[in-house]
Amino acid sequence: MTRREIKVSFVVAVADNGVIGHGADIPWHIEGELSLFKALSYHHSVLMGRKTWESIGRPLPGREVIVLTRNADYHAPGCRVCTSLEAAIDMGCAEGRRLIVAGGGEIFAAALAYADTLHISHIHMQAPGEVMMPKIPKAFHPVFSQYYPADTPYTYTIYSREGAPELSI
Ligand SMILES: NC(=O)c1ccc[n+]([C@@H]2O[C@H](COP(=O)([O-])OP(=O)(O)OC[C@H]3O[C@@H](n4cnc5c(N)ncnc54)[C@H](OP(=O)(O)O)[C@@H]3O)[C@@H](O)[C@H]2O)c1
């Protein structure tokens, strides 16, 4: 698959201190914020690491879930399983489709080089946790930003990679 055929977006919520997870969990619950993930990932292939899959524990309606693991015998009911990132990208981006990367930390770090669009909810809190989002490379520029004054306020920002051929979901 050529670079141009690879269309990869991240959808992630990141606390102001860079935390995205605490153990198996996301250390906040914000009414409405998760609906962004649902809307952006609907009818797409969604890639997640084995640990994130186990913390969700069920397929996502209306989406093809691809679980990444190094264990070739791993079974994730209702999902596809890949043992290499490149195979997962080939699968998720087949026939011109866009792959949505849903985490967690290891998968975001490994897939960042392939991403052209990042949908980031910046959660305005110092969250407890040890799973961190990798630093956003300078090549990404914010192209849209919207502040949401929830109990825990957050800002949803879309970042686009410099030179990316299109801005898309
Ligand atoms: N805030 C958010 O938006 C958000 C979103 C998603 C998840 N999270 C949080 O993130 C945390 C989980 O993240 P995590 O970093 O611990 O785990 P993860 O990224 O979900 O999964 C890690 C696992 O993925 C597999 N893997 C990683 N790189 C691979 C590669 N190159 N090839 C094949 N398999 C590979 C390995 O599975 P095996 O060990 O089976 O080989 C590895 O143990 C949780 O706290 C979760 O709640 C937060």
Q: The domain that contains 127 carries what CATH number?
A: 3.40.430.10
Place of tokens 């392939």: 114
Q: Please state, in angstroms and as integers, the Cα–Cα distance from residue 79 to each residue in 3, 17, 69, 91, 153, following that order.
A: 26, 32, 12, 12, 33
pLDDT digits (tens, 9 = 90+) for 61-116: 999 999 999 999 999 999 999 999 999 999 999 999 999 999 999 999 999 999 99
CA 29–ligand 1 middle distance (angstroms): 20
Q: Is the pLDDT of residue 166 over 90?
A: no
**Burial degree of 95 (CB within 10 A; 0-12, 13-18, 19+):** exposed
Residue 168 located in a structural domain: no
Residue 150 located in a structural domain: yes
Residue 85 located in a structural domain: yes
pLDDT digits (tens, 9 = 90+) for 115-163: 999 999 999 999 999 999 999 999 999 999 999 998 999 999 999 999 8
Ligand 1 pocket (Cβ < 6 Å) reads 12-13, 20-21, 24-26, 48-52, 55, 68-71, 83-85, 102-107, 110, 131
Atom index in ligand 1 nearest the CA of residue 20 equals: 1
Q: Is the pLDDT of residue 3 over 80?
A: no
What pLDDT score was predicted for residue 47?
98
Residue 35 located in a structural domain: yes
Give the domain range for residue 155. Answer: 16-99+110-161
Residue 37 located in a structural domain: yes
Strands (DSSP E) contained in 5-124 are 8-15, 19-21, 45-49, 64-68, 80-82, 99-101, 117-123
Q: Is the pLDDT of residue 169 over 90?
A: no
Q: Is the pLDDT of residue 1 over 80?
A: no
Q: Which residue has the higher pLDDT, 167 or 52?
A: 52
What pLDDT score was predicted for residue 164?
80
What pLDDT score was predicted for residue 2?
78
What pLDDT score was predicted for residue 167?
63
CA 67–ligand 1 middle distance (angstroms): 9
Q: How does residue 168 score in pLDDT terms, banded at 50, 70 and 90?
A: low
Residue 44 located in a structural domain: yes
pLDDT digits (tens, 9 = 90+) for 24-75: 999 999 988 999 999 999 999 999 999 999 999 999 999 999 999 999 999 9
How many domains, in total, are found in the chain? 1
Residue 105 located in a structural domain: no
Euclidean distance between CA atoms 51 and 48, whole angstroms: 8
CA 106–ligand 1 middle distance (angstroms): 5
Residue 90 located in a structural domain: yes
